[in-house]
Structure 1
């Protein structure tokens, strides 16, 4: 009997022991499962992004990055209309991000959790004062012109109003990426306050500019054709379009006004309902690092917003970088977006009728 009890007791101890090991193994398995960080972004250069941006982050933080790709409007609408969205971080244009701030769908950023934000260029630092996600890349507008055909130099946006340029220029349409920037340029020419007068002075300047305008454009490829055919000799252009235009019209020169240009940013924001905010902060900090922005300036052709990045002349070519970036001014989309519908209507009546 005693022998039987001893065997039973030993069996019970072994069973409990194995059960305990099994439980521990399950705990370890759970703890080793990789967290998923869902990033909503454009479906561009995915192979390069995976190799240069996502893979090093996954390895460092033992996580898996899952992409949700699409156009800006598609991705923004999907996030804005789904309170159960799994997206943690979303890449957006500055204009669309401002809509999200107004709709209160993004996390108010605690910049003490993003150490690399201290190195942002002045215009990007100004953008952080709104309390939302930082800019990770920048482009800006300047002037492209055919110096030989014109017979004189253009150095400032104010030169666009010269009477010698009647019927020779093209500017971005109000609905394009740099349409709002053109409103700011026109406002500066008249010395207005775009926030308080809601663009009235800008439209006065555009009416004065109208005789010089051949047409407004929506795509930089249209500009390339107009320069190549001699239809225009001057245009206000985003610097990302320089290679496209110069490939069609190599005689055309680009100038960024010394008095300053207007910047356009791509930003990163955190979904207010994200369950991985700590990891999202780490990813944003990585995206702003000197190491990564030096690499992506070359591999993705992204102008850095980290002021400590040093680029070689060939990599810096045609980018908003150095003094150009330091002199760039921001467009306040908190002012622009509520006025845009009215601006589009008035713009079309003045310039496109």
Structure 2
């Protein structure tokens, strides 16, 4: 009888220890955070952002990549989406706020809010999420292949550039800004005619345009293959394009540029809000922003980050930031349906 009791006790003890071990394993297993983001410079993002975050918070980061419009549409149309945080351009962020896709993110959630630049604070206070970098549009070109020096937006219409230019598709981060630039180059405020002048200017530019593009990596391939000599790109794409064509030069015209904040938001249906907030704060801290400035050509929004002149090159900081205009998406977004249709009919026919 005693042997039976002893045997039962041993079995129960082993069962209890096994249950405790299983419970401990579950508690220590990394959680999963799904981040919807661009697919640009993934190796650098993993080494400078995702892997350090994973180690600090015992989390497994899973990426959902694509251009901003694709990912925004995917989140909007999937009520069962498992995305926790999404990084978008200002244009798509404005759409997401209007469509109620994001969980509230307030100044009190952000440990570095007081250290952010005024424009970033303004977006947070408006309920638009947390900006983590400021970028702008410019002209990158190979002077030898272009056969001319390019200093201004107006130079793009020079007949010498026939078939040598690539421009952003209308649905990309800087697609709308490019149209606004076309209107400004002709001396007309796009809001006054809903972009009519912009499309006339685009039609005049069309002979010079070899191809539209959806991603900066597409532009890099076009330069590497010698298919184009000029492209209109966001400054975040300069490093990858410069690697493809070391002779390429990036120019921000003296007349000014058009700026965009990339913004992080927390998906409304996330089940990992606390971890999502931790990720946002991680992206905004000065240490991470300095690393991404070095590795990803991202201009910091944390005012404690100081860049050397070499590191500030090709970023939306200093004089470039001072000359940057913000596109009014409250005017642009209601026009986008018509603009997308007209752009595609014009450029793809």
> What TM-score do the two structures reach when normalised by structure 1?
0.72
Match of 1:40 among 13, 35, 40: 35
Task: After superposition, give the CA deviation of every residue in 1:25-83 in whole Å (9 maximum; x if it has no partner).
Answer: x9xx99xx689684433473474234333433x2xxxxx53534213477656654566
Match of 2:107 among 111, 119, 141: 111
SS of aligned partner of 1:98: helix
The structural deviation recorded for 1:133 is: 0.7
Map of 1:215 onto structure 2: 210
- With 248-257 and 167-176 compared, the bigger mean Cα shift is at 167-176
> Matches of 1:293 and 1:340 in 2, distance apart?
32
SS of aligned partner of 1:303: coil
Q: Aligned pair in 2 of structure 1 residues 327, 104: CA closer, same or farther (>3 Å)?
A: same
1:138 aligns with 2:134: yes
SS of aligned partner of 2:257: coil
The structural deviation recorded for 1:256 is: 1.5
What RMSD in Å do the two structures reach over aligned CA positions?
3.8
The answer (yes or no) to whether the contact 2:223–2:245 under 8 Å persists in 1 is yes
The structural deviation recorded for 1:183 is: 0.7
The answer (yes or no) to whether the contact 1:39–1:87 under 8 Å persists in 2 is yes
The structural deviation recorded for 1:220 is: 4.3
The answer (yes or no) to whether the contact 1:52–1:295 under 8 Å persists in 2 is no
Map of 1:352 onto structure 2: 348
The answer (yes or no) to whether the contact 2:53–2:279 under 8 Å persists in 1 is no
1:327 aligns with 2:316: no
- With 267-276 and 302-311 compared, the bigger mean Cα shift is at 267-276
Match of 1:70 among 64, 75, 79: 64
Unaligned runs of 5+ in 1: 1-25, 59-63
The answer (yes or no) to whether the contact 1:122–1:326 under 8 Å persists in 2 is no
> What TM-score do the two structures reach when normalised by structure 2?
0.73
**Residues 273-292 of structure 1 aligned to structure 2 (within 5 Å):** 273-274=269-270, 277=273, 280-292=276-288
Unaligned runs of 5+ in 2: 1-19
> Matches of 2:181 and 2:155 in 1, distance apart?
11
Q: Aligned pair in 2 of structure 1 residues 330, 129: CA closer, same or farther (>3 Å)?
A: farther
**Residues 169-318 of structure 1 aligned to structure 2 (within 5 Å):** 169-211=165-207, 213-218=208-213, 219-220=215-216, 223-224=219-220, 227=223, 232-274=228-270, 277=273, 280-318=276-314
SS of aligned partner of 1:272: coil
The structural deviation recorded for 1:151 is: 6.1
SS of aligned partner of 1:101: helix
- Size of the aligned set, in residue pairs, is 319
SS of aligned partner of 2:343: helix
> Matches of 1:149 and 1:74 in 2, distance apart?
33
Task: After superposition, give the CA deviation of every residue in 1:227-280 in whole Å (9 maximum; x if it has no partner).
Answer: 567654433123233344334433332112233222344321123355665664
SS of aligned partner of 1:70: strand
